[in-house]
């Protein structure tokens, strides 16, 4: 990304030290700052003008500052490691105490004298609600992003884009509150309608009550991640080189063909990054789902009946009355969530990293 | 291929002018109207549903009809163009509806309790039958927690970014960059659990007078700083890379050591951008509920000391009032939500305006 100015800076500084210009290759920037120091140390009475320069110190401000920044960098790595270590340390006792199978048991009662809890249903609910939310949100978000970048009048597009950016900053608890108090009504109606006419599909089966369901949770999640995905992909679409777009139009492409051949391929890594970021948000979303889902502990593909649960929502709901083992159990479930998001993130980074080499676009 | 063949074939059907045949202007609205009428006839005729279904079916019929009409008159490519354009526009409308509903609800319900009492009192001794009560304690909590988190995050974040951009080379710097990226995706609840496991359960007993683990606003600040750190590092890093190379070169040429160049030349140049990033990080942290719920506990009384005893925050206040059975609780929840959104939006708008004035640009 920004590597080029960096390199040119090094080359420039390398060139100014005329006398020793050949000793260091221009790219060896890390040594540029210390370079004058090390050359002046032996003897000091070297070439002309050396006496006017400050004398070098082995433990000077330069080294101290560098050490400070290095410490800050290492701190970040330490935090990540600490997250994993402390979560594992607190989770293991609870997992030992668990009398049921952690992976398959459908239920969550870690506070009993014989603790029983399983992650299966929670992990399933987490993945199902996030996947559903993305399935709904991504096409719409890309549509809006294209509208804002290529269809709307310039001024309207900028204004609405700013508005979408603002919506991306709205806290999730607000969406949760809205979903529970206002959106559940229309979703209940929709669920009843779906059940009446499409009840033969297992997804929409069951006999009620409807409302606080995976469908509501996923829709609220979708509305929540929509501004995030939109604002990121809009930015990527706006960065498409004008030359590419004009070339496509000059060859007689219609506007959609121009979008498909010039804008979308250029923005693909950015789109993937935006979607993955949205997925990360959806997987880790706590409060909006704790407010909208009807909490149950079974694995079911039924989307419209009251029920559904996710790892994060369960932590928020069950934390209040958790005892020692209960907390450990919740931390264990958090560890699983951490692992899921890590996998998603690392996959996304890998995809972006590999694609960038081909498309040379900013992701 | 298909474009070529269709081009070759079409001139025969075209008038000798250079213009391609186009759908008349009145045609799309006419199709829309027809689609709505047909949809209404189908839906009400079979008794399947209400007006919403009419709009949905009408939309689908419109798309189909538009494609068919354009295909007949203008050819396949133009028909595709029209259909996709209609789809993109409808995606926009589809998304604006719920978002507008959120904003409208927030404003109308939030205005209900927007009075001095709300901002001046806490929830202490407020029972289920009391209509008053306020969020003073929560506002104090949010400000203190976010403030401490900022104090922790900003120096570490900026130093880390300086390391990545100015000093770091090779595998180690790459690892730091990579894990900062990974850290961006850590769910807020996991960071809350981390601080719960690390600070509240293990470290805090040593500091508390009773020797037992205790919640505190400081723990919440720690959890928030875990969330803010990657944002601050990434935005600072981006800004540092935008600082023009000649500025650094000029400083080096004058014999200024590297650390002084960074502190006196590079950082001041990138400062507006860095401040923007920090403000966006603050805005995001202020809206987090889950970590505060796990490690600060939330309380009804005003607690000005962030290092001891439970503290609430605005987001947590919204969540707790939402779960409260009192019939006055929803109004409090919505007003607190409005306050929170106002706080976050002011920060975000200020950050964006600052970014716009930023000389470095993007």
A84-97, pLDDT tens digit by residue? 999 999 899 989 88
In chain B, which residues have their Cβ closer than 8 Å to the Cβ of A181?
Answer: 105, 109, 330
User: A18 falls in which pLDDT band (50, 70, 90)?
Assistant: very low
Q: In the Cβ-directed half-sphere of B153, how many Cα atoms lie within 13 Å?
A: 31
**pLDDT reported for residue A226:** 92
**pLDDT reported for residue B51:** 84
State yes or no: pLDDT of B169 exceeds 60: yes
**Residue A200 token pair:** 């033969």
Compute the average pLDDT of residues A180-191.
90
Among the ranges given (A52-56, B192-196, B260-264), the one the predictor scored with the smallest mean pLDDT: A52-56
In chain B, which residues have their Cβ closer than 8 Å to the Cβ of A171?
Answer: 286-289, 315, 337, 340-341, 344
State yes or no: pLDDT of A45 exceeds 60: no
pLDDT digits (tens, 9 = 90+) for A343-357: 888 887 777 776 655
In chain B, which residues have their Cβ closer than 8 Å to the Cβ of A68?
Answer: 159
State yes or no: pLDDT of B210 exceeds 50: yes
**pLDDT reported for residue B53:** 87
User: A44 falls in which pLDDT band (50, 70, 90)?
Assistant: very low
Task: Tell me which CATH code domain B118-357 carries.
Answer: 1.10.3720.10
Q: Could you give the percent of chain B with pLDDT greater than 70?
A: 93
Q: Could you give the percent of chain B with pLDDT greater than 90?
A: 41
Compute the average pLDDT of residues A203-213.
81
State yes or no: pLDDT of A242 exceeds 50: yes
State yes or no: pLDDT of A7 exceeds 70: no
Q: In terms of residues, how long is chain B?
A: 362
Q: Are B328 and B350 in contact (CB under 8 A)?
A: no
- Of the candidates B196, B201, B259, the beta carbon closest to that of A65 is on B259
Interchain contact A239–B (C-beta under 8 A): no
The DSSP 8-state label assigned to residue A319 in this structure reads S
- Pick the more confident residue, A17 or B361: B361
**Residue B157 token pair:** 């974040």
Contact B260 A147 (CB under 8 A): no
User: A8 falls in which pLDDT band (50, 70, 90)?
Assistant: very low
**Residues whose CB is less than 8 angstroms from the CB of residue A312 and which lie 6 or more positions away in sequence, other chains included:** A126, A283, A284, A285, A286, A289, A290, A337, B187, B189, B290
Give the best residue of A2, A55, A73 to mutate against chain B (max B CB count within 10 A): A73
- Pick the more confident residue, A44 or B249: B249
The domain ranges of chain B are 2-111, 118-357
In chain B, which residues have their Cβ closer than 8 Å to the Cβ of A53?
Answer: 255
User: A179 falls in which pLDDT band (50, 70, 90)?
Assistant: very high
A101 CA: distance to closest CA in chain B (Å)? 22
**pLDDT reported for residue A103:** 87
Contact B160 A89 (CB under 8 A): no
B121 CA: distance to closest CA in chain A (Å)? 22
The DSSP 8-state label assigned to residue A183 in this structure reads I
Here the ipTM equals: 0.86
A257 to chain B: closest CA residue: B81
**pLDDT reported for residue A57:** 63
pLDDT digits (tens, 9 = 90+) for B265-281: 999 999 888 998 899 89
In chain A, which residues have their Cβ closer than 8 Å to the Cβ of B102?
Answer: 170, 174-175, 178, 223
The structural architecture, per CATH, of the domain A116-359 is Orthogonal Bundle (1.10)
Compute the average pLDDT of residues B201-222.
86
pLDDT digits (tens, 9 = 90+) for A131-146: 999 999 999 999 999 9
**pLDDT reported for residue A49:** 47
A302 CA: distance to closest CA in chain B (Å)? 22
The domain ranges of chain A are 116-359
**pLDDT reported for residue B306:** 87
Contact A143 B91 (CB under 8 A): yes
Q: Are B189 and A312 in contact (CB under 8 A)?
A: yes
**pLDDT reported for residue A114:** 85
Compute the average pLDDT of residues B54-63.
91
- Of the candidates B162, B168, B290, the beta carbon closest to that of A312 is on B290
Interchain contact A101–B (C-beta under 8 A): no
Among the ranges given (A129-143, B95-109, B150-164), the one the predictor scored with the smallest mean pLDDT: B95-109
Considering chain B, what is the average pLDDT of its residues?
Answer: 87
Contact B95 A75 (CB under 8 A): no
- Of the candidates A2, A142, A175, the beta carbon closest to that of B242 is on A2
Give the best residue of A13, A56, A76, A187 to mutate against chain B (max B CB count within 10 A): A76
B189 CA: distance to closest CA in chain A (Å)? 7
Compute the average pLDDT of residues B4-21.
56
Q: In terms of residues, how long is chain A?
A: 363
For residues A279-296, one letter each, b for 16 or more C-beta atoms within 10 angstroms of the residue's C-beta and e for the rest, the string is bbbbbbbbbbbbbbbbbb
User: A17 falls in which pLDDT band (50, 70, 90)?
Assistant: very low
Task: Render B10-35 in DSSP notation, one character per residue.
Answer: GGGGS-SSSSPP---TTHHHHHHHHH
Considering chain A, what is the average pLDDT of its residues?
Answer: 81
Beta-strand relationship, A108-109 and A116-117: antiparallel
A301 CA: distance to closest CA in chain B (Å)? 25
The DSSP 8-state label assigned to residue A108 in this structure reads E
A140 to chain B: closest CA residue: B91
In chain A, which residues have their Cβ closer than 8 Å to the Cβ of B162?
Answer: 69, 72
CA B180 to chain centre: 19
pLDDT digits (tens, 9 = 90+) for B349-362: 888 888 777 666 54
**Residue A94 token pair:** 């609870």
User: B251 falls in which pLDDT band (50, 70, 90)?
Assistant: very high
State yes or no: pLDDT of A301 exceeds 70: yes
Compute the average pLDDT of residues B166-179.
88
**pLDDT reported for residue B155:** 94
């Amino acid at each position: 990304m920004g590597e080029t100015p960096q390199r040119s800076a090094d080359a420039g500084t390398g060139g100014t030290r005329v006398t020793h210009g050949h000793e260091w290759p221009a790219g060896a920037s890390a040594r540029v700052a210390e370079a004058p120091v090390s050359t002046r140390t032996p003897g000091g009475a070297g070439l002309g003008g050396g006496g006017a320069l400050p004398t070098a110190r082995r433990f000077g401000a330069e080294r101290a500052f560098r050490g400070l920044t290095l410490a800050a960098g290492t701190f970040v790595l330490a935090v990540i490691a600490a997250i994993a270590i402390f979560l594992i340390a607190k989770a293991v006792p609870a997992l030992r105490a668990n009398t049921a199978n952690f992976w398959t048991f459908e239920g969550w009662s870690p506070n009993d004298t014989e603790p029983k809890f399983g992650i299966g249903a929670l992990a399933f609910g987490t993945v199902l609600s996030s996947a559903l939310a993305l399935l709904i949100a991504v096409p719409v978000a890309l549509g809006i992003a294209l509208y804002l970048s290529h269809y709307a009048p310039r001024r309207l597009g900028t204004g609405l884009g700013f508005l979408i950016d603002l919506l991306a900053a709205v806290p999730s608890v607000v969406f949760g509150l809205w979903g529970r108090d206002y959106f559940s009504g229309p979703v209940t109606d929709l669920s009843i309608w779906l059940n009446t006419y499409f009840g033969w599909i297992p997804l929409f089966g069951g006999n009620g009550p409807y409302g606080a369901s995976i469908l509501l949770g996923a829709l609220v999640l979708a509305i929540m991640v929509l501004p995030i995905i939109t604002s990121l992909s809009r930015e990527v679409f706006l960065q498409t080189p004008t030359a590419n777009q004009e070339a496509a139009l000059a060859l007689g492409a219609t506007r959609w063909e121009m979008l498909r051949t010039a804008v979308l391929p250029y923005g693909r890594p950015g789109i993937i990054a935006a979607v993955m970021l949205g997925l990360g948000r959806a997987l880790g979303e706590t409060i909006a789902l704790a407010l909208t889902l009807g909490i149950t502990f079974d694995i079911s593909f039924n989307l419209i009946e009251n029920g559904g649960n996710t790892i994060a929502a369960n932590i928020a709901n069950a934390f209040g009355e958790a005892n020692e083992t209960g907390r450990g159990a919740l931390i264990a479930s958090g560890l699983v969530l951490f692992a899921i998001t890590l996998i998603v993130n690392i996959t996304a980074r890998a995809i972006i990293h590999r694609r960038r080499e081909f498309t040379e676009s900013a992701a | 291929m298909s474009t070529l063949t269709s081009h070759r074939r079409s001139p025969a059907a075209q008038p000798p002018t250079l213009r391609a045949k186009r759908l008349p202007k009145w045609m799309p609205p006419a199709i829309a109207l027809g689609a709505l009428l047909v949809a209404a006839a189908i839906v009400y005729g079979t008794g399947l549903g209400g007006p919403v279904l009419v709009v949905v079916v009408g939309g689908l019929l419109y798309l189909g009809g538009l494609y068919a009409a354009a295909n007949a008159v203008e050819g396949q490519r133009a028909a595709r163009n029209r259909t996709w354009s209609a789809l993109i526009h409808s995606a926009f409308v589809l998304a604006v509806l719920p978002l507008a509903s959120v904003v409208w609800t927030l404003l109308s319900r939030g205005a209900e309790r927007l009075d001095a009492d709300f901002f001046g009192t806490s929830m202490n001794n407020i029972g289920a039958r009391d209509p008053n009560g306020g969020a003073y304690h929560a506002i104090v909590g949010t400000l203190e927690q976010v403030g401490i988190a900022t104090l922790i995050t900003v120096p570490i974040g900026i130093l880390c970014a300086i390391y990545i951009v100015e000093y770091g080379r090779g595998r180690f710097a790459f690892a730091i960059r990579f894990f900062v990226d990974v850290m961006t995706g850590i769910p807020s609840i996991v960071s809350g659990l981390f601080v719960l496991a690390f600070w509240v359960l293990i470290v805090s007993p040593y500091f508390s007078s009773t020797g037992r683990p205790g919640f505190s606003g400081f723990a919440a600040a720690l959890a928030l700083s875990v969330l803010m750190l990657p944002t601050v590092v990434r935005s600072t890093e981006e800004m540092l890379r935008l600082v023009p190379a000649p500025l650094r070169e000029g400083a080096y040429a004058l014999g200024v050591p590297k650390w002084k160049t960074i502190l006196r030349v590079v950082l001041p140049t990138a400062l507006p951008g860095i401040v923007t990033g920090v403000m966006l990080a603050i805005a995001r942290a202020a809206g987090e509920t889950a970590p505060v719920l796990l490690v600060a506990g939330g309380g009804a009384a005003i607690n000005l000391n962030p290092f001891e005893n439970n503290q609430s925050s605005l987001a947590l206040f919204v969540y707790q009032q939402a779960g409260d059975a009192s019939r006055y609780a929803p109004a409090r929840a919505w007003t607190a939500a409005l306050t929170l959104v106002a706080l976050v939006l002011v920060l975000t708008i200020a950050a964006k305006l600052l970014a716009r004035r930023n000389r470095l640009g993007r």
